[in-house]
Structure 1
Amino acid sequence: MALMIPPVKLKWLEHLNSSWITEDSESISTREGVSVLYSKLLANKEAVLLPQQVLCLKGPQLPDFERESLSSDEQEHYLDALLSSQLALAKMVCSDSPFAAALRKRVLVLQRIFYALSNKYHDKGKVKQQQHSTENNSGSADLHSVSERPRSSTDALIEMGVRTGLSLLFALLRQSWMMPPPPSPGGGPGGNINLCNDVIHTAIDVVSSLPPLSLANESKIPPMGLDCLAQVTTFLKGVTMQNSGADILGRRLASELLLGLASQRGSLRYLLEWIEMALAASAVVSAMEESKGLQNQEGLIGYDCFMNILMQMRRSLGSSSDRSQWREPTRTSDGLCSLYEAALCLFEE
């Protein structure tokens, strides 16, 4: 007979989740650190030892000496019984070893830490709201999406103000493209002042100044913020189209801002959406050049802007710093590069 490691009854306490999240992960790799954390589980009554169970090992019933030889089936049966008994004994001895005890403590500690992380960063209510907001693919659907959590009158007024403000801003920007530029002070033709381009350029500066992956953790973004991001993305995608009414610079800035937002959100979905947009815009430009035989500034993006975002992505992935191993788009004399080549470089990443 041998004594097995006593089983435990687990009961996690919710108010201790924050303390477990802050535990040093390196201490789990050492046996002493695991013992300290396991003692913490026992002290907090989150792991209660159950009574030890006594395991009686009884070997197979082998036949006594007999004159007649055993058949092959009987011999095989006795051999299987002996092997099974040896396997059970080996399992018991291994599970009662110091290594098995330390391993079991480590598993329990990891289980407690993962439970704390799951409850803190994967709240079911927030996940449902995010899924509800991301399922809306069009701007009109985003405007009518309703949060599952009950809202107060103040929240409703704030949401109404933000959404109507965005709609007004989008309308003013579209109108800015349609209107001719104001005349210069000398009475000549208007300059290159464009309200929409200035606004988008300011937004690009703000997004580029953010730390990497600032918008990646959507669980910390309120549903209204996700809806606003979806509306802005839908508007910018429309701006990049040839029939949007925007000028060449406006379409270029919109594609740069879309790429910046996609990289900040840190999701493959948004990067693939940008690649799809870039390929669609490049296809339209290619068709125009074939029909008209003209070379213009369509279908381009700022080279420095694209490379800054691409290098930021490579640094976050720990890629090699040797630029000879990287695929880069061709830079024009104006400091631009093709949307098609940029999409290919991003797709290879």
Structure 2
Amino acid sequence: MALMIPPVKLKWLEHLNSSWITEDSESIATREGVSVLYSKLLANKEAVLLPQQVLCLKGPQLPDFERESLSSDEQEHYLDALLSSQLALAKMVCSDSPFAAALRKRVLVLQRIFYALSNKYHDKGKVKQQQHSPENNSGSTDLHSVSERPRSSTDALIEMGVRTGLSLLFALLRQSWMMPPPPGPGGGHGGNINLCNDVIHTAIDVVSSLPPLSLANESKIPPMGLDCLAQVTTFLKGVTMPNSGADILGRRLASELLLGLASQRGSLRYLLEWIEMALAASAVVSTMEQNELLQNQEGLIGYDCFMNILMQMRRSLGSSADRSQWREPTRTSDGLCSLYEAALCLFEEVCRMASDYSRTCVSPDSIQTGEAPVVSETCEVYVWGSNSSHQLVEGTQEKILQPKLAASFADAQTSVCCRAARLL
């Protein structure tokens, strides 16, 4: 018989995953459909046929005629050898049948389709993002299943150290603002030493020194890093409330650190969460004003810190709107501004960015009506890929692995990403 499928070497190609996902699943139920899909595997060199192995048809070595009877152990050994030989022969005959050949093809095709589905819809990086999605983010810091893969003992020890370290840090920070300041030399209160404020101020300096959007690509952040960001964000949100127990400076610094983290993560979700936090804190401040329990400088944020982040967003946007129409919060004599006004300014900026972006996307209706897309005043062009023919106008480097800001296209009227085609 020639129906037996020779052994194959499997090598899935990632760029073909999309085509395998769209294959008709009903065709797998028929032998003709399976044969077509199996031929596709062979044509794409995802299944490479290996040389046929030599079949060993020689049976077990049985003893010659002997006068003496064999022992029970020897008889059992020879019997097992005969049964194993018959089983191997039965497997060979069954695998040589048309049913076995079709079944083997069907298994290989299913294996390829399941691999494509797993990589597209069950990728570990996407599972991590879903676990940190708004639906799953209820504000609690108890994120048990960060990843489905089994963790080693080293990973477990590191996670235990990080989690316990964060819990200890949060407990110390809460305790620091609940304890009275140490007495000074003259018996009065000491200086303005506050552990919580010093730690948050240091964190603000670190976040401010990072390049823009350093935390935007969550797929490159390990699960433990996302977990730590979620815990820190939840803690800071609690600190910003006037009834949290922290002093006024601590609440202000927590608001600034939250805004810095939101801008670094570069997602609309985190900006809206900061706006929600600012409005909630402002509502509590308004209630305290009605009850005449308000202290000085309550519900404020640093003006320079807020405007630096806002101007960074505007520079990256390159908005074509009139700059005189840009809303800015009112600056106090102490260099502060209202959280409520800051939230409104940020929300207005987010809406303007969405409006400008929607108008830059030319739809078929706008083309028919003759509407021209909005072109930003400033644009940045990033290039990467092959530069063998100097088509990217970036020196003599033949290949640019990371996106690089191209100064040669500074006068371009639209934002363009140039990438040379790859030869497969």
* TM-score, normalised by the number of residues in structure 2: 0.54
- Partners of 2:311 and 2:96 lie apart in 1 by 52
Q: Which runs of 5+ in 1 are unaligned?
A: none
Once structures 1 and 2 are overlaid, which stretch shifts more, 312-321 or 188-197?
312-321
Partner of 2:152: 152
C-alpha spacing 1:183/1:83, structure 2 compared with 1 (3 Å) = closer
Once structures 1 and 2 are overlaid, which stretch shifts more, 253-262 or 41-50?
41-50
Partner of 1:91: 91
Deviation at 1:13, TM superposition (A): 3.6
CA deviations 1:76-96 (Å, max 9, x no partner) are 999999999999999999999
CA deviations 1:221-271 (Å, max 9, x no partner) are 111111100000000001011221100000000011011111111111111
- Partners of 1:65 and 1:87 lie apart in 2 by 25
Once structures 1 and 2 are overlaid, which stretch shifts more, 123-132 or 289-298?
123-132
Partner of 2:280: 280
CA deviations 1:90-140 (Å, max 9, x no partner) are 999999999999999999999999999997999455445643676543454
Q: Does the 8 Å CA contact 1:213/1:263 hold for their aligned counterparts?
A: yes
Q: Does the 8 Å CA contact 1:129/1:148 hold for their aligned counterparts?
A: no
Partner of 1:337: 337
C-alpha spacing 1:113/1:286, structure 2 compared with 1 (3 Å) = farther
Q: Does the 8 Å CA contact 2:299/2:338 hold for their aligned counterparts?
A: yes
Percent identical residues: 97
Q: Does the 8 Å CA contact 2:60/2:85 hold for their aligned counterparts?
A: yes
Q: Which has the higher contact order (CA 8 A, sep 6+)?
A: 1
- Partners of 2:147 and 2:61 lie apart in 1 by 69
CA deviations 1:150-176 (Å, max 9, x no partner) are 111100110000000000000000000
C-alpha spacing 1:16/1:193, structure 2 compared with 1 (3 Å) = same
C-alpha spacing 1:4/1:37, structure 2 compared with 1 (3 Å) = closer
Q: Does the 8 Å CA contact 1:122/1:219 hold for their aligned counterparts?
A: no
Q: Does the 8 Å CA contact 2:125/2:219 hold for their aligned counterparts?
A: no
Once structures 1 and 2 are overlaid, which stretch shifts more, 20-29 or 148-157?
20-29
- Partners of 1:152 and 1:63 lie apart in 2 by 52
C-alpha spacing 1:348/1:33, structure 2 compared with 1 (3 Å) = farther
Q: Does the 8 Å CA contact 1:2/1:55 hold for their aligned counterparts?
A: no
Deviation at 1:145, TM superposition (A): 3.9
Partner of 2:43: 43
Q: Which runs of 5+ in 2 are unaligned?
A: 350-424
C-alpha spacing 1:189/1:226, structure 2 compared with 1 (3 Å) = same
Q: Does the 8 Å CA contact 1:212/1:264 hold for their aligned counterparts?
A: yes
C-alpha spacing 1:163/1:85, structure 2 compared with 1 (3 Å) = closer
* TM-score, normalised by the number of residues in structure 1: 0.64
- Partners of 1:77 and 1:161 lie apart in 2 by 56
Q: What secondary structure sits across from 1:142 in the alignment? A: coil
Deviation at 1:324, TM superposition (A): 1.7
Once structures 1 and 2 are overlaid, which stretch shifts more, 102-111 or 232-241?
102-111
C-alpha spacing 1:240/1:107, structure 2 compared with 1 (3 Å) = farther
Deviation at 1:283, TM superposition (A): 1.0
Deviation at 1:53, TM superposition (A): 39
C-alpha spacing 1:15/1:136, structure 2 compared with 1 (3 Å) = closer
C-alpha spacing 1:207/1:99, structure 2 compared with 1 (3 Å) = farther
Q: Does the 8 Å CA contact 2:181/2:191 hold for their aligned counterparts?
A: yes
Q: Does the 8 Å CA contact 1:303/1:337 hold for their aligned counterparts?
A: yes
- Partners of 2:138 and 2:129 lie apart in 1 by 17
Once structures 1 and 2 are overlaid, which stretch shifts more, 34-43 or 208-217?
34-43
Q: How does 1:164-243 map to 2 (within 5 A)?
A: 164-243=164-243
Deviation at 1:309, TM superposition (A): 0.6
Deviation at 1:183, TM superposition (A): 1.6
CA deviations 1:43-102 (Å, max 9, x no partner) are 998999999999999999999999999999999999999999999999999999999999
Q: Does the 8 Å CA contact 1:216/1:264 hold for their aligned counterparts?
A: yes
Partner of 2:130: 130
Q: Does the 8 Å CA contact 2:128/2:223 hold for their aligned counterparts?
A: no
- Partners of 2:76 and 2:329 lie apart in 1 by 71
C-alpha spacing 1:53/1:343, structure 2 compared with 1 (3 Å) = farther
Once structures 1 and 2 are overlaid, which stretch shifts more, 6-15 or 214-223?
6-15
Q: Does the 8 Å CA contact 2:182/2:190 hold for their aligned counterparts?
A: yes
Deviation at 1:323, TM superposition (A): 3.8
Q: What secondary structure sits across from 2:141 in the alignment? A: helix
- Partners of 1:170 and 1:31 lie apart in 2 by 63
CA deviations 1:262-296 (Å, max 9, x no partner) are 11111111111111110111111112112218562
- Partners of 1:84 and 1:323 lie apart in 2 by 86
Q: Does the 8 Å CA contact 1:197/1:253 hold for their aligned counterparts?
A: yes
- Partners of 1:24 and 1:308 lie apart in 2 by 54
Deviation at 1:328, TM superposition (A): 0.3
Counting helix residues as a fraction of each chain, which structure ranks higher?
Answer: 1
Deviation at 1:195, TM superposition (A): 0.5
C-alpha spacing 1:162/1:110, structure 2 compared with 1 (3 Å) = same
Deviation at 1:144, TM superposition (A): 3.1
Once structures 1 and 2 are overlaid, which stretch shifts more, 64-73 or 8-17?
64-73
Q: Does the 8 Å CA contact 1:2/1:54 hold for their aligned counterparts?
A: no
Once structures 1 and 2 are overlaid, which stretch shifts more, 114-123 or 29-38?
29-38
- Partners of 2:243 and 2:108 lie apart in 1 by 60
Q: Does the 8 Å CA contact 2:141/2:231 hold for their aligned counterparts?
A: no
Q: What secondary structure sits across from 1:143 in the alignment? A: coil
Deviation at 1:147, TM superposition (A): 2.2
Q: Does the 8 Å CA contact 1:133/1:145 hold for their aligned counterparts?
A: no
